[in-house]
Amino acid sequence: MLPAEQAQILGSVEAFLAKRLPPAEIRRRDAGHVPPYDLLPEMGELGLFALAVPVAEGGLGADWATVALVQEALGQHAYMAASIFNRVVGFGLASIRAHGTAAQRAEMLPLLMAGRAFCALALTEPQAGSDAAAIRTRATRQAGGWRINGRKTWISDAEGARWLILPARTGPEKEGARGISLFLVPTDAPGIAMTPLPKVGNNCMPSFDIGLQDVALPEEALLGQEGQGFGHLMSTLHYSRASMAATVTGAAEAALRIALDHARTREQFGQPIGRFQAVAHRLVDMRLRVDQSRLMVRHLAQLIDAGAPCRREAAQAKIIATETLRDVADAGMQIMASAGYSAESDMQRLWRDSRLYTFGEGANEVLRDTIAREMGLTARGRA
Ligand SMILES: Cc1cc2nc3c(=O)[nH]c(=O)nc-3n(C[C@H](O)[C@H](O)[C@H](O)COP(=O)(O)OP(=O)(O)OC[C@H]3O[C@@H](n4cnc5c(N)ncnc54)[C@H](O)[C@@H]3O)c2cc1C
């Protein structure tokens, strides 16, 4: 996409954020745990969800580089908007476009692009976190379809979602990752019970424990090939990793700017604290990390746009960006001290939220294993 077109899109994103999520509104939602689902149709009208969808499929046909810029802008302004955007674009649209039948695509793509519905990923189970192939939730065949029993946990935005994309075991447990299939489960299906989970941060992204008891689904609820669900999830992972990397880079930029403003204005010992070399160098190191993270995000976007293999780079970008945000938010808290620790400060929200991303959506230790494999250091295990 041409720089002028990108600037126009970013301009409309910024205008939308300034109008609908001014700083006081972000704080109100965070304090009240109010998710941003009501903003989705407006984001849909702006065309944001259609950006990454080819024109032939009803979308705007933008490149991933443009999507990444939008994600970074959302992450910098309001992570809650970035996280729901990623759920639609980095996960839902990518999965349905890649693996949906013609009927599933015809029903779901227009709704997803319009911001009228979204999908949550229901993968994690109490005994299957990093070892996701150890899931036990089972789908068994019954007349005319499937019956699902099991339990999922830490499923974010499940209550607001229209569908869960739910991996379940359809083969014997000894088949590991090969015996898993994906299902599109309507969240209002009888037999589903959701319990909200209290947590440290990301207040506007509620997470749920989900019980599934004899949930009956039609034949058409299968997404992709039976038994190939784990591979299907892996095949679109670079989109969700690229999405997270771009948005946390935006959030890290926000943390840096808040700390910088504070260091310029807060005076101690008769001068702004930013004049003390210990504080200035800390801010410089934050700048170095955020720019490194941004460059990695842009490089990954180029690979995605070129259709090049990028498993290693997607893992690298997710590690670099999430560890940058964690460290930059922590340094920002140190620079602001009591002003950052105040519940009224935006820094404390970034600091709380930042702690999730180094282990959420694939723990960085497990991603380092992925990179080690790509470097020919270790054999493929279950991790
Ligand atoms: C707020 C929140 C939202 C979430 N949202 C969703 C969601 O929407 N959908 C969903 O399906 N899941 C979701 N999750 C689950 C998330 O993906 C898991 O927390 C994550 O995969 C890690 O699993 P675990 O927490 O069970 O940690 P564990 O897998 O028990 O890991 C614990 C520690 O052991 C380390 N470890 C594990 N295996 C290895 C290994 N092979 N080598 C080295 N170290 C290892 C990990 O890196 C980690 O540090 C969410 C979690 C949270 C907290």
319 Cα: distance to centroid of ligand 1 (angstroms): 14
pLDDT in tens, 304-322: 999 999 999 999 999 999 9
* 176 or 80, which is more confident: 80
Paired sense of beta strands 163-169 and 119-121, if any: parallel
Domain identity same for 124 and 108: no
For residue 70, what are the contacts with CB-CB under 8 A and spacing of at least 6? 9, 10, 13, 48, 51, 85
Quote the crossing angle between the two packed helices 237-265 and 64-77, to the nearest 10°.
Answer: 40
Exposed, middle or buried by CB within 10 Å (0-12, 13-18, 19+), for 190? exposed
**Residue 49 belongs to a domain:** yes
* End-of-domain residue from the set 117, 133, 162: 117
Domain identity same for 163 and 272: no
Query: Ligand 1 atom closest to Cα of 152?
Result: 11
Domain identity same for 87 and 186: no
**Residue 379 belongs to a domain:** no
Domain identity same for 208 and 84: no
CATH number at residue 76: 1.10.540.10
Residue 361 known to be catalytic? yes
359 Cα: distance to centroid of ligand 1 (angstroms): 6
Reduced to 3 states, what is the DSSP secondary structure of residue 381? coil
Domain identity same for 363 and 240: yes
Query: How much is the average pLDDT of 187-199?
Result: 98
**Residue 293 belongs to a domain:** yes
**Residue 140 belongs to a domain:** yes
- Is a pLDDT exceeding 70 seen at residue 192? yes
Query: How much is the average pLDDT of 229-233?
Result: 95
Phi, psi of 43 (to 5 degrees): -65, -35
Q: What angle do CA 254, 255, 261 make, to 5 degrees?
A: 90
Domain that holds residue 68: 3-117
pLDDT band for position 383 (50/70/90)? Answer: very low
* End-of-domain residue from the set 67, 88, 117: 117
Query: How much is the average pLDDT of 120-140?
Result: 96
Query: How much is the average pLDDT of 24-36?
Result: 97
Query: How much is the average pLDDT of 217-233?
Result: 96
- Is a pLDDT exceeding 50 seen at residue 24? yes
Per cent of the chain over pLDDT 70 is: 99
Query: How much is the average pLDDT of 225-234?
Result: 95
pLDDT in tens, 356-377: 999 999 999 999 999 999 999 9
Report yes or no: 41 and 116 within 8 Å, Cβ to Cβ: yes
- Is a pLDDT exceeding 90 seen at residue 2? no
- Average pLDDT across the chain, whole number: 96
* End-of-domain residue from the set 117, 151, 170: 117
Domain identity same for 260 and 370: yes
Catalytic pick from 72, 253, 313, 361?
361
Domain identity same for 304 and 355: yes
**Residue 380 belongs to a domain:** no
Query: How much is the average pLDDT of 51-79?
Result: 96
Domain identity same for 254 and 353: yes
Locus of tokens 């029993």? 149
User: What total of structural domains would you count in the chain?
Assistant: 3
State residue 379's pLDDT score.
74
- Burial of 44-53, coded b for 16+ CB within 10 Å and e otherwise, reads bebebbbbbb
- Is a pLDDT exceeding 70 seen at residue 302? yes
CATH number at residue 170: 2.40.110.10
State residue 211's pLDDT score.
98
Domain identity same for 155 and 124: yes
Query: How much is the average pLDDT of 28-32?
Result: 97
25 Cα: distance to centroid of ligand 1 (angstroms): 31
Domain identity same for 26 and 48: yes
Query: How much is the average pLDDT of 70-79?
Result: 97
Give the binding-site residues of ligand 1, using a 6 Å CB cut-off: 120-124, 129-130, 154-156, 199, 202, 207, 356, 359-361, 363, 365-366, 369, 383
Domain identity same for 152 and 262: no
- Is a pLDDT exceeding 60 seen at residue 52? yes
Domain identity same for 111 and 222: no
State residue 176's pLDDT score.
83
Whole-number Å distance between alpha carbons of 345 and 341: 7
**Residue 179 belongs to a domain:** yes
Supply the residue whose CA is at minimum distance from atom 52 of ligand 1: 154
155 Cα: distance to centroid of ligand 1 (angstroms): 12
pLDDT in tens, 266-294: 999 999 999 999 999 999 999 999 999 99
**Residue 381 belongs to a domain:** no
CATH number at residue 284: 1.20.140.10
**Residue 382 belongs to a domain:** no
- Is a pLDDT exceeding 70 seen at residue 381? no
